[in-house]
Structure 1
Amino acid sequence: MDFEQLRTFQLVSRLKSFSRAASQLGITQPAISAQIRSLETEVGARLFDREGGKVSMTAAGRLFEPFAEHCLQCQSHIFAGISELYRSPRGVLSVSTSEAASLYVLPQVFAEFKKLYSRVQLSIVRAERTRTLESIVNREVDFGIVSLPVRDNRLMVHAIHRDEVVLVAPASHPLALTSSVELDQIMQFPLLMTRQGSQRQKIDQFFQSKDARPRIAMELESSELLKRLIAAGIGVGFLPQANVAHDVAAGELKTVRVSGMHVYRELGLICLKDKRLTRAEHAFLEVATRGTAGPETGTKPKPHSA
C-alpha cells in the first residue's frame, strides 16, 4: 500500500468514475483499475462496486475512506514540517563540547541563540575531545566545539574563540605579587598540569625549548579540578584566561604571564562537510561565529576545511 494508491482511491471516491479519475491524473483507465485492484488485495476486501457502468463504494470502502484521508493528511503534515524545518529555526540542536568550554566560553553563545530562536531546543553534551570528534563523524550530534587544530578532511571547521593560556596562582601566592615572572621563578614551586591535550603539548614544548624541567606535583584529567586545587593552595598551574576570569575578578586567583611564553587556547565549531544544515543549524553557526576574532589580528576567522 502506498500514498499513490490512496490518492487514486480518494479521487475515484470523489468523482465516482474510473475514467474521469484517469483523465484528471493523466494516466490510462487500466492503470487506475490496476491500482485499485492492488489496494483491494492488500485490504482484503472490495472497495468499489462497478456494476452497470456505475461506481459506488462498498461498506468496506466507506470504512476505509476516513483512514485513507488520515494517512494522506499525515503525509502532507510530514512534508510541510520538514520543509518548515529548513525555512524557520525550530526542532532540536545538539552540541558536544568539553566541560571547560561549556562552563566558561559558550554560555553567552547559548544564551544569545536561545534569545533569538526560542523554538529551538538546545541539547548540550559534555564530552572530551576525542569523543566529540567521534560523535560528529557518527552523526550522533549536530555540532562539536573542540580545541584546534583539527585535521580530518571529512570535517568543516569554523574558528570561534581564542584566548591566552596563563599561569594561575592563589591571590596570596608569592608569584601573584607581579603581573609577569621569569621561567626560573616558576621552577621553585610545585606545578599542577592537565594530563594531556593540545594545551599540555604546547606548554611542554615551551619548557623543552628553554631546557627547563618544572616540578610537576600533580597531573589531572580535569581543568576544573586543576583550578580548584590551585585555589586550595596546592600549587600553581596553567589555564586559559576565560576559565579563571570570574575567580580573578572575585580576588581569589591571580593570572601571571610568563616571560617569553605565548600559548593560546583556540576553539573551533565543527560539523561534517557533507551535512545539509537545517535553518536552526545555520542560525547557530551564525551566532557562534559572530564577531569572533583573535586578539592578535582583530579579524573574524573564516571557515576552513580540516
Structure 2
Amino acid sequence: MLSDLWPGLDLRHLAAFSAVARTRSFARAAETLGYTQPAVSQQIRALEKIVGQRLFDRSSGRAEATLTEAGAVLAAHVDALTARLAVARQDLRDLQRGEAGTIRVGAFQSALARILPHVLKRYRAERPAVQVEVIESNDDAPLLEQLKRGALDFAFALLPLDSDSLSHRELVQDEFLLVSKTGEGLPGRIRSVADLGEYPLIVHRSCRSAAALVSYLEARTGTPNIVFRSDDNAAVKEMVRAGLGVALLPELWMQLGGNEGLELTPLTGVVPSRTIVLAWRKDRLLTPAQEAFVNVTTAIVARPRLERVAS
C-alpha cells in the first residue's frame, strides 16, 4: 500500500518540493503555490524528515536553493509521478464525458496539411460531439515530449519511437524525392546514394527525418554538400528553381502543390523512406472516442500509395 512506502508522505510535501526545485527559490515557490514562505520551508523540512535525507542546499550566501544529489534523484521521480497523475486525471475526465470531450492531437507540417484534414472530415461525421484540438510543429520531437507529459492525446510522428512508453499505429511509408530544376536531366542518373554526392543539396533544417537523412548520407558518401537548409516549403522550391541546388524532400511534403518548373525523381531504394505513425502513451486507457480516432486515421491513411490519402 502507498501508506507503507513513506509513512506521513503527503502530496502537499511533493508540491512544495517540486515548486522549489523548479523555481530554485523558497520565496518564488511560495508565490507559485499561494503559500507563505515559512509554510513552504515547513513542508520541505517535513519531507526531508520523511525520506531521511537533505534535499536542498540552503548554505548561507547562496542566492538560490539548489538540489542535493538526493534531491535530484527524488525530483526525477516526482516529475514522473506528476505526469502519471496528469494522465490519470485526464483519463477520469474523458471517462466521465463519454462520447463528448476533447482530443488533443499534435501534427508536423506535412501530416497537418495532407493527412489530418481528411481524418477530421470523416471523424467529425462519426463523432460530431467530440472536439479535436490540433497543436502544430515543424518537428515531431516536441510533440512527442508533450505526448509523454500527457499534454497531448495523440501525435503524428516518425519512427523510431520510445517503444517502452509509446504505442503507435503505422500509417504511411513516405519516400524521399530528388527535386531538381526542370531541364537538368537528373531523372535516371541517380542510381545509388553515391550519385547524390555529386550535387549541392538543399534539405530541411529542424526535423528528425532530415537529421536521419543527413546522417545516412554522411555514413555512405562522406560530408554531403549542403548549400541551404530551410523548413519553408516555398523557400526550398525557389532555391531549386534558381538553380542553387537539388532538394531531398519527402513525397508527402511535395504533394502540397506548387511544383511547376520542378522535376521529381523517386529515391526508392537509394535512401530510406520515413515511416509516419500515429502515436499515444502506452499506459493510456483510450476512451471509445479516442479509439475511434485511431481507427478512422488508420482507415483513411494506411494506403499503399500516398496519392490515396484523400480518398
The TM-score normalised by the length of structure 2 is 0.58
Is 1:125 the counterpart of 2:135? The answer is: yes
Structure 2 CA distance for partners of 1:280 and 1:257, relative to 1, 3 Å: same
Structure 2 CA distance for partners of 1:255 and 1:147, relative to 1, 3 Å: same
The corresponding residue for 1:85 is 97
Q: Which sections of structure 1, spanning at least 5 residues, go unmatched? A: 1-80, 297-306
The corresponding residue for 1:141 is 152
Is 1:161 the counterpart of 2:176? The answer is: no
Contact 2:175 2:266 in 1 (8 A): no
Structure 2 CA distance for partners of 1:133 and 1:82, relative to 1, 3 Å: closer
The corresponding residue for 2:275 is 266
- Describe the SS at the equivalent of 1:218: strand
Structure 2 CA distance for partners of 1:224 and 1:101, relative to 1, 3 Å: farther
- Give the CA deviation at 1:260: 4.9
2:105 to 95, 107, 112: 95
Contact 2:177 2:250 in 1 (8 A): yes
Structure 2 CA distance for partners of 1:239 and 1:120, relative to 1, 3 Å: same
One-letter code aligned to 2:97: L
- Determine the C-alpha separation between the residues in 2 that align with 1:160 and 1:224: 26
- Determine the C-alpha separation between the residues in 2 that align with 1:259 and 1:286: 28
Deviations, residues 109-152 of structure 1 (Å, cap 9, x unaligned) = 22222233222222110023221111111111211111111024
Deviations, residues 243-283 of structure 1 (Å, cap 9, x unaligned) = 113537x6443211348504212111111122222222111
- Describe the SS at the equivalent of 1:181: coil
- Give the CA deviation at 1:205: 4.5
- Describe the SS at the equivalent of 2:178: strand
- Describe the SS at the equivalent of 1:150: coil
One-letter code aligned to 1:109: V
Structure 2 CA distance for partners of 1:83 and 1:198, relative to 1, 3 Å: closer
- Give the CA deviation at 1:285: 0.8
Give matches, 1:273-288, under 5 Å.
273-288=282-297
Give matches, 1:104-119, under 5 Å.
104-119=114-129
- Describe the SS at the equivalent of 1:153: coil
- Describe the SS at the equivalent of 1:274: coil
RMSD across aligned positions (CA): 3.1
Structure 2 CA distance for partners of 1:111 and 1:133, relative to 1, 3 Å: same
- Give the CA deviation at 1:233: 4.2
Contact 1:180 1:258 in 2 (8 A): no
> For the pair shown, which has the larger CA radius of gyration, 1 or 2?
1
- Determine the C-alpha separation between the residues in 2 that align with 1:110 and 1:231: 34
Contact 1:94 1:123 in 2 (8 A): yes
Structure 2 CA distance for partners of 1:203 and 1:273, relative to 1, 3 Å: closer
Structure 2 CA distance for partners of 1:83 and 1:294, relative to 1, 3 Å: closer
Deviations, residues 6-37 of structure 1 (Å, cap 9, x unaligned) = xxxxxxxxxxxxxxxxxxxxxxxxxxxxxxxx
- Describe the SS at the equivalent of 2:255: helix
Structure 2 CA distance for partners of 1:147 and 1:198, relative to 1, 3 Å: same
Give matches, 1:201-280, under 5 Å.
201-222=211-232, 225-247=235-257, 251-258=260-267, 260-280=269-289
One-letter code aligned to 1:135: Q
Contact 1:166 1:255 in 2 (8 A): yes
Structure 2 CA distance for partners of 1:83 and 1:131, relative to 1, 3 Å: closer
Contact 1:223 1:239 in 2 (8 A): no
Deviations, residues 191-235 of structure 1 (Å, cap 9, x unaligned) = 112235443344334434543543211123456643453345432
Percent identical among aligned pairs is: 22
- Determine the C-alpha separation between the residues in 1 that align with 2:255 and 2:196: 21
Q: Which sections of structure 2, spanning at least 5 residues, go unmatched? A: 1-92, 306-311
Contact 1:162 1:293 in 2 (8 A): no
Contact 2:153 2:280 in 1 (8 A): yes
One-letter code aligned to 1:138: R
